Every structure is written in structure tokens, then in C-alpha cells.
Amino acid sequence: MQSLGAAIIRLTSEVSEMRGELKGFVNDKAHALQRVEIRSETEGMIEKAINSLAVTMEAAIKGAISAALREANGYTDAKVKELEARLAAQEDRDKKREADISRQTIGLGVVGIAGILYALYNLITHGGG
């Protein structure tokens, strides 16, 4: 009987030990599953953060490009207006110069005709000599 009692005690002890190992295995498996879930959630959060950052950066880049284009267009418009004003002033000077040249040409023509008339007058009144 003692050997039966010892065998039962030993068997109970082994079952208890196996039960402890099984609990440890189950706990390890549960912890591993939790780590996998945590890793998955973390990767999901990182992916969302990266996507959000990409969208934010894209919007910022588009905003910067739009601002640069607006600034460049403003500069170009100002330069075009400045050049148009310079061109208009140049055209006014050209018209005045053309009018001055026309008056000078008329003046030279009048002086030339006056010279020819004077020469003819001298020729007629003094007889060519």
C-alpha cells in the first residue's frame, strides 16, 4: 500500500508539475499573442502617422508652390506694367522727336528755298555778277 500511496503522490506531483508547465506555456502563448497584437497596432499607428505626415507635407508643398507662383506672377505683372510704362514714355519721346525732325526738315526746306530765292533775287537785280 505504501508503494501505491507513494506512486499516487508521485503521480499527483507530476500532474501538478505538468499542470504548472501547461499554465506557463499558455501564459507564454498569451503574452506572445499580446505582443503580436501590440506590434500590429503599433505598425498600424505608424502607418497612419506616416500617411498623415505625407498628406500634410503634400499640402504644405502645394501651398509653398502656390505662394511662390503668386509671388512670381505678381513680380511678372509689376515688371510688365513697368515695361509698358517705359514703352509708352519712349513712344511719346519718339513722337516728339519725329515732330522736331519734321519741323527741322521744314525749316531746312524753308531756309533752302530762301537761299535759292535770295540767289535768284541777286541774279536778277545785279545781273549775275
| Cell 505598425 sits on residue | 43
| Count of beta carbons in the 10 Å neighbourhood of residue 7 | 10
Regarding pTM above 0.85, the answer is no
How confident is the prediction along the chain (129 residues), in pLDDT tens digits per residue?
667 777 777 777 777 777 777 787 777 788 888 888 888 888 888 888 898 888 889 888 988 899 898 998 889 999 999 999 999 999 999 999 999 998 899 888 888 899 899 888 888 888 755
| Cell 507635407 sits on residue | 57
